[in-house]
Structure 1
Amino acid sequence: MKKLISLLTLLLIISAFAAGCSRSKTSGDGAGNADGQVTLSLFSTMSNEGEKKAFESAIAKFEEENPDINIEANLPGGGYEDMLRVKMAANDMPDLFDTHGWSQLRYGEYTADLKDMDWVENLDPALDAILKDEQGKVYAYPLNQAKDGISYNANLLEEYGIEPPTTLDGLMTALETIKEKSNGDVVPLWIPGGDNWTIAQIFDEMATPLLITDKENSHGEQLLDGSFDWSNYTLLAEKMKEMQEKRLLNEDVLTAKLSQAPELMAQNKIGFTFVGGSLGPDATELNPEVKVGTMPVPAVHEGDQPSWIGGERFTLAAWKDSEHLEEAKKFIEFLAQPEVAKEIAEGTSSPTGLKNAEADTYYSKYYENFEEVKVQPYFDRVYLPSGMWDVMATTGQELLADTLTPEQLSKKMEEEYKRLRSQ
């Protein structure tokens, strides 16, 4: 009897051990299943419905061709950075993740080197400085490129006799014209401030013409060495507050959500907005009559020229410590096939990041119209320490909520800039 009990105890221990092994993960978030299928965890910053739809379609095609690999995609929108910071601190990164402009400075130590992959020879040289370092390491694969500016309702501008403005003063005049001629039925500048990162997007885009591109007002060196006088930043907050006081912004600016943009644009309720990406095709799908244009960021100082703001938009990096690195690279190689790269770029309404894949996007004719306009890098990625994006978002919210004055906003930016630089 004792032998029988001992044998049963031994079998229970073996069974428990085996069950524990079958449940254990084999990489940070990705797992190997008992049937041999590998699950790769993937995090991306994509937030617009059109973008997500295009990416999820590519994932489905890959899984169909590779039934032994499952992609578990996470698209947390505005919560992305906080989630990735936690994962970096725990050194438990997703198998695949979007570096969203920080491939080297923020995520570099976590990324696998992709330089030996076939697609690298077709990487657009315009992205070399962003995705490669001096030693030749390639940090991420670019799903597309960014040419950010301002979106607008092309039909409304034509109806009201407004040309896409090239200066900030011209933009202010255009906004006032829309308010007057629409009798208040159209929001001149619509901001989905309920997703506060969209406020940071505006400040980030406009900081470049304010502080960088004009030769007489260029503060790049001072921003990099820490000697920048932040009173030079106050004009942006003053202009934003002026727009709000003149009722040129949506009244629900602090609660409006990004997901509302396509429907409002389709209803001809928006004149201008800094929302880009798939806004145009999403709105036109809802209303085939609507036409959404895009234009560069207008110049702030007299004599300066407009600028596109850009670089990498969406990328995929592979976690260097992933136990499924081979499978992660296989997915990236799939995405880099010219026909797949083209589909994703067109689905996200942005140019591809590869020389051998050309996309005919919703905004192609507008990019052609402004092909002489230079692309400037995102302001925060070059001139601000990591963490300042969140500061731009929160201070912008506080400005629009009347809890910060423009001068106080600049002071708070200065304090956080110095604190983060010292870390």
Structure 2
Amino acid sequence: MKKRVLSLLLCCIFVVTLLMGCSSKGTGNTNTPGSEGNKDNGSNGKGEKVTLEWETTATSEKIPVYQELIDKFTKETGIKVELVTPGNDYETVMKTRMASGDLPDIWETHGWSVARYSEYLMPLNDQKWFSRIDESILPVISDKEDNIYCLPLTIGVNTISYNKDVFKAAGVDASAIRTWKDFDDACAKIKASGVTPIFLGNKDSSTIAQLCEDIPPAFLTTQSVEDNQKEALKNGKFDFAKYWTPISEMVDSWMQKGYFNKDVLTSDNDAGCQALAKGECGMIFGGGNNILFARTYNPDANLGYLACPGVNEDDVSFISMGEGTCVGMWKDTTYPEESKKFLEYLSQVENCEKVATSSGDIPGLKDVKNEDAYITQAFREAQTMYKGDIEYVPLFDREYLPSGMWDDLGVGMTKLIMEPGKAVKDSVDYLQDAYNNKMIK
């Protein structure tokens, strides 16, 4: 009797368990990866709520834009994103985190997606937005195997910005400037018209360092240079006396000819943008967003970009390109699918446009326009003006010089401004010593 009761009890338990299992399958809330159960509820396949960490270099106007995008993403997907903003300590924080092996899910690569971060980042060639990347930035963000490790929301362009009306009044054809000799001739015409050819706001010495983004490639590293110095620069064997002297001599000659503004040592880059906008100078060197800043002083300013010239007539013209706002994802993130979903969200035209507008940079995706479309149009116009005969090169200091040499470039080149006609050797020797010391470190 006891055995019959026990058997009956076990059967009841079995039936109840079976019914519970069937009921569970019928609810559709199993939260398996890719199922409707975890769609848009912010949980991963284990039913856990997901919070991604996004580390950014942003310190000002970008942060509210990023937070707005994050809030919308969370509302749509349920996936939370924590925005971390170390400010000026960004590089120090990231180096510490790389050493500890504890990295954020998403971070801005600030020019170093390949050289510094590629071993920590997930290759992203298989993402839907890959085919939308502007071809001008691809060489800069690709490794030797053509892998990319970041979503380029914006492009950092470094070249020569010019005032079209000043050029026209001086009789200068921008499209005809294909060598540095042509550039010198243009400066002479602009000066003769009563306008300063080049504004250099060198109050903190960083502006003159911009010349070292836009001149050296023509002498040292573009595809036109026969005695190419790419490898020598990278392996610590570069001879400044032999190869940099012509660069310093050219800048020194501009100073002696009066091509720069007289207050070069006391003015700043903002003053240069104002002068460009008002037609008080013909050109300024530096970031492509100088045009955007200039037009805040004169919205009607007629401005454009010049590609940097070569040394010889048959040499290619070039534009220095760098990462603007570019984000990659940690290859060992706990949440790879959620991280990819966030990158996909940022790549959407409306969202990428907001980022580009907030930074004043050129969008890195072909189908995106900055709300202030002027700079995008200026860039496309420059590409057309050179009819495809243009090389896109990486930012010189980031690609070929040891880390921390930017300030040295400013100090070394400032010597030419302080002692025109007398400081070429001193300038070159200073740069050689700085290069040697930092290569040892």
- Tell me if the contact between 2:139 and 2:392 (Cα under 8 Å) persists in the aligned partners: no
Amino acid corresponding to residue 107 of structure 1 in structure 2? Y
- Matched residue type, 1:266: A
For the pair 1:409 / 2:427, whether they are aligned, the reply is yes
Cα displacement (A) at 1:202 = 1.2
Please give the per-residue CA displacement for 1:348-370, whole angstroms capped at 9, x wherever unaligned.
56553335546652413233222
- Compared CA separation, residues 318 and 188, structure 1 to 2 (3 A): same
Checking the alignment, whether the CA contact within 8 Å between 1:157 and 1:271 is kept in structure 2 is yes
Quote the residue 1:392 is aligned against. 409
- The question of whether the paired residues in 1 share the 8 Å contact of 2:306 and 2:382 is answered with yes
Matched to 1:408, the amino acid is D
Query: Counterpart of 2:274?
Result: 263
| Structure 1 segment 1-20 matched on structure 2, within 5 A | none
Q: Supply the distance in 1 between the matched residues of 2:256 and 2:92 (Cα, whole angstroms).
A: 37
Shift of 1:297: 0.3
Q: Which amino acid aligns with 1:368?
A: T
Q: What is the Cα deviation at residue 150 of structure 1? A: 0.7
- Calculate the TM-score normalised by the size of structure 1: 0.73
State the shift of 1:216 in Å: 4.2
SS in 1 for 2:244: helix
Residues in 1 aligned to 2:335 and 2:404: alpha-carbon distance in whole angstroms? 30
Quick check: 1:230–1:414 contact (8 Å CA) kept in 2?
yes
Give yes or no for the alignment of 1:242 onto 2:258: no
Query: Would you say the 8 A contact 2:169–2:193 is kept in 1?
Result: no
1:374 match: secondary structure: strand
Change (3 A) 1:205 1:100: farther
**Which string of whole-angstrom CA distances, capped at 9 and with x for unpartnered residues, describes residues 149-174 of structure 1?**
21011111111211222221222232
Aligned to 1:300: 311
* CA separation of 1:194 and 1:107: change in aligned 2, threshold 3 A: farther
The aligned residue for residue 11 of structure 2 is none
- Structure-2 change in CA distance of 1:416 and 1:242 (3 Å): same
2:141 aligned partner: 131
Q: Is the contact between residue 103 and residue 130 of structure 1 (CA under 8 Å) also seen in structure 2? A: no
The aligned counterpart of 1:317 is 328
Q: Is the 8 A contact 2:53 2:105 kept in 1?
A: no
Count of aligned positions: 375
SS in 2 for 1:301: coil
Alignment RMSD, CA only? 3.8
How far 1:324 moved relative to its partner?
Answer: 8.9
- Between the aligned partners of 1:327 and 1:252, the Cα distance in structure 2 is 53
Query: Pairwise mapping of residues 361-380 of structure 1 onto structure 2 (< 5 A)?
Result: 361-363=376-378, 364-372=380-388, 373-380=390-397
Question: Runs of 5+ in structure 1 lacking a partner?
Answer: 1-35, 47-51
1:84 aligns with 2:88: no
AA of the residue aligned to 2:187: L
The answer (yes or no) to whether the contact 1:58–1:335 under 8 Å persists in 2 is no
Change over 3 Å in CA distance of 1:302–1:119 after alignment to 2? closer
| Alignment-derived partner of residue 220 in structure 1 | 230
Aligned residues of 1:96 and 1:328 also touching (Cα < 8 A): yes
Q: CA deviation at 1:42?
A: 1.7
Mark the structure with the bigger radius of gyration.
Answer: 2
Paired with 1:286 and 1:327, the residues of 2 have a C-alpha distance of 43
Give how far 1:336 is off.
0.8
SS of the counterpart of 2:115? coil
- Structure 1 match to 2:163: 153
Q: What secondary structure, in the 3-state scheme, does the structure 2 residue paired with 1:149 have? A: strand
Instruction: State the TM-score, normalizing by the size of structure 2.
Output: 0.70
The reply on whether 1:60 has 2:71 as its aligned counterpart is no
* CA distance 1:334–1:371, change in 2 (3 Å): farther
- Cα contact 1:41–1:94 (8 A) shared by 2: yes
Shifted more, 377-386 versus 313-322: the winner is 313-322
Aligned-partner Cα distance in 1 for 2:263–2:132 = 45
- Residue matched to 2:436: 418
Change beyond 3 A, Cα 1:181–1:356: closer
Alignment of 1:43 onto 2:57:
yes
- Closer, same or farther in 2 for the Cα pair 1:175/1:257, shift >3 Å? same
CA distance in 2, matches of 1:58, 1:151: 29
After alignment, is 210-219 or 86-95 more displaced?
86-95
Which letter does structure 2 place at the counterpart of 1:391? D
Instruction: Give the SS at the match of 1:271.
Output: strand
Alignment partner of 1:286 is 2:297: yes
Partner residue of 1:9? none
Q: Is the 8 A contact 1:210 1:217 kept in 2?
A: no
SS in 1 for 2:197: strand
Q: What one-letter code is carried by the residue in structure 2 that aligns with 1:365?
A: E
* Percent of residue pairs bearing the same amino acid type: 27
In structure 2, runs of 5+ residues without a counterpart are 1-49
Q: Look up the equivalent residue of 1:187 and give its one-letter code.
A: T
Offset of residue 252 of structure 1: 3.1
Between stretches 400-409 and 386-395, larger displacement belongs to: 400-409
